[in-house]
Amino acid sequence: MPPSNLTPATAIDITSFPFTVSVDPGASGNILYYKLTGPAANCIVGILVDNPLWTSGHYLPEVSILDSGLANYLGGFSTSDNALQVPVSTGQQIYIKIRNVVGTYTVGDLVNLSVILPPNGVVAAGNLLINDDTNFFPMCIIDIAGNVVKFLEFPAGERGEILPSGISLWQDRIDAGFNPAGSGVTGDTVSLFNASFVKITDISGIIDNADVAECIIVSNRVNKFYVVRNNSTSLITVKTIDNTGAVGVITWTLPTNAVRCIAACPNRAETILYYASGNLNQPVRRYDLVNNIELSTFYPGQGVNYSVLKDILVLADGTIVIAFYNNAGSVQTTKIIHFDSTGTILRQWNYNGNNGMAGEVVNRIVYNKDDSSSSFWVWLFMPINSDETIWEFPVKSKFLELSTVTGAILQSIVVQNFSVGKSSSSGVWDGRRFGPSTSCPFLLMPTVSITPPEPLAPDGIYFVSPNKATRHDSYYNSIEKKIPNPAIKTALLGE
């Protein structure tokens, strides 16, 4: 008997998670449809299909995602054996379409479908925050064991910065918040969030989608953000935004020799801005924020074919960490250099890749959770696909905490990358059904207390259980809730 769900109209409704099913597809041309509605308190689902009996010539299931109008979702997801993580807002409906891409159905072939929800843990200090620069994809939060803690609906963007207070400022490249079901209106703004990642406000007029290059968002590491804008007129301007969202009255205009500014950072006294162009063989420059003039060059550059990467860190002790890369030829050379405040090199770390086939290369660097000068974190890309350039589709990422005192690796974790929702590894590596994007902002959760919103109790059939051992209300999805505020109060005696 063929499966009943061979059309979108007969799609099987997935109403609880985890959902697993093993189905005999029945024929080579049979397409199976499932559908689900975005569950409460989650913004992403993990989907995996396979045929456990698959060898060449058998039914090879390929999963693709359709929106509620049966059009390709978010430009199209499809894979035959990679884990998918699909963003879906609460209440939003999507379809899962499973078809045979190659081979011929043979009796015994099966389609195994697994749909799971991500972890929904508590964000803690030291967690790695990796936002996505692809519209509608959420921020991934990872603990220092490399496990996904949770996902947060968040605006997509290239840049962000978090203060020790937990208040953060992010580029929002679509100016529409996180809304996969929305219109995806193009825009560009910066948005301020509180320590629980609840938006405080959008701040308009700071950047624009006509800018020639992405903005830079950094801070004084206390209470003020600096936003460097690569204007469409090639002017490079700098403005401040404080931790309440107030925009500073001063606008600095940097010299045009820093065209397409890629990295910048003020010193802690906010007297000097270190900055660099993203073009090849450019120095690291300094600008006097007090007197509004250019100062002498901080560092003349790493040499021919080298560029500055996206981050300049000014540590609490005034020393400076900058990353460089050289993408010429078959060997990608990246290095991180620790300078004193005069530009003298204190230490250097080298990471080289071999045309993407081996080695590790630097992507981003970031302050540690305590904002101390003793260490910083680096995000390395690990072996990548041979036919891709180095910063696209790396299979895995490695995150290291490096000591500025000894140069040693203090902590090291490896995670599975997901590029536009698709695992960069075939199958499931190390059981990782979820993971961070390969791009782009990377920050560490500072030492502040975050209370995530409680998960919502799902709908369904329940019963009153007088003999229940735990005197909590038990809901589906393993949600336990205290009986809400049992109380009696008399008019005379009070509660």
Partner 1 sequence: MGLRDHEPILIEEFSGWWDRGDPESVPSDHFIVADNVQYFNSGVETRDPIDKYQTIGTPLGKILRFYDYVMQSGQSLIVLVEGGKIYHVIGADVMHGPLLTIPEMTDFGFVAVNGRAYITPFKTYTNSQGKNYELGIKNEFLYVYKGDGTPARKAGGPPPTGGALVAALDVDGLTDIGFHLIAVVYETDTGYLTALGPEVFASLEFDGAHKILVSNIPVSPNAYVKKRHLVSSKAITNYNGDQKGYQFFFIPDGNIENNVDTTKVVQYFDADLLSDASHLIDNFTEIPSGVSLNTYHSRLVLVGEFGTDETLKDLPVGITDNRSVARVSFAGEPEAISKVDGLIIAPLDGNPLTNCQEFRDVLYLYKMTRTLGYSDNNDEPATWSEEVIDQGVGAPVHGVATVLDSGGVNVDFLLIVDWSGLMLFNGTYARPELSWKIEDYWMAQVRNDFRYMQIVNDSLSKKIWITLPPPNQHIMLHADYGNGIDSKNIRWARWLFDVKVATVALIETNKVVLGAIASAS
Q: Rule CB under 8 A: which residues touch partner 1?
A: 13-16, 18-20, 40, 456-466, 468, 470-476, 481, 483-493, 495
Name residues whose C-beta falls within 8 Å of residue 374's C-beta, 6 or more positions apart in sequence: 368, 403, 404, 405
CA angle 136, 141, 142 (to 5 degrees): 140
- Name the residue type at position 250: I
C-beta of 251 vs 465, nearer to partner 1: 465
Minimum CB separation from partner 1 for residue 470, in Å? 7
Residue 363 structure tokens: 């992507």
Residue 5 structure tokens: 């769900």
Distance between CA atoms of 417 and 269, rounded to whole angstroms?
Answer: 37
C-beta of 249 vs 488, nearer to partner 1: 488
Residue 374 structure tokens: 């003793």
Minimum CB separation from partner 1 for residue 136, in Å? 23
* E strands present in 340-439: 345-354, 361-367, 375-381, 396-403, 409-416, 418-419, 422-423
Q: 35 pairs with which residues across the strands?
A: 13, 95
C-beta of 304 vs 483, nearer to partner 1: 483
Minimum CB separation from partner 1 for residue 117, in Å? 14
| Coil, helix or strand at residue 258 | helix
C-beta of 246 vs 481, nearer to partner 1: 481
C-beta of 145 vs 488, nearer to partner 1: 488
Minimum CB separation from partner 1 for residue 473, in Å? 5
C-beta of 259 vs 457, nearer to partner 1: 457
Minimum CB separation from partner 1 for residue 154, in Å? 21
- Cis peptide bond prior to 61, omega within 30° of 0: no
Name residues whose C-beta falls within 8 Å of residue 345's C-beta, 6 or more positions apart in sequence: 337, 338, 339
C-beta of 388 vs 459, nearer to partner 1: 459
Minimum CB separation from partner 1 for residue 7, in Å? 14
Q: 142 pairs with which residues across the strands?
A: 128, 148
C-beta of 145 vs 491, nearer to partner 1: 491
- Cis peptide bond prior to 215, omega within 30° of 0: no
Minimum CB separation from partner 1 for residue 37, in Å? 8
Name residues whose C-beta falls within 8 Å of residue 45's C-beta, 6 or more positions apart in sequence: 17, 36, 38, 39, 85, 86, 88, 115, 116, 117, 118
Name the one residue in this structure whose structure tokens are 């560490």. 444
Q: 34 pairs with which residues across the strands?
A: 12, 96
Minimum CB separation from partner 1 for residue 36, in Å? 10
Minimum CB separation from partner 1 for residue 451, in Å? 16
C-beta of 387 vs 471, nearer to partner 1: 471
- Name the residue type at position 124: A
| Inter-residue contact 177 to 152 (CB < 8 Å) | no
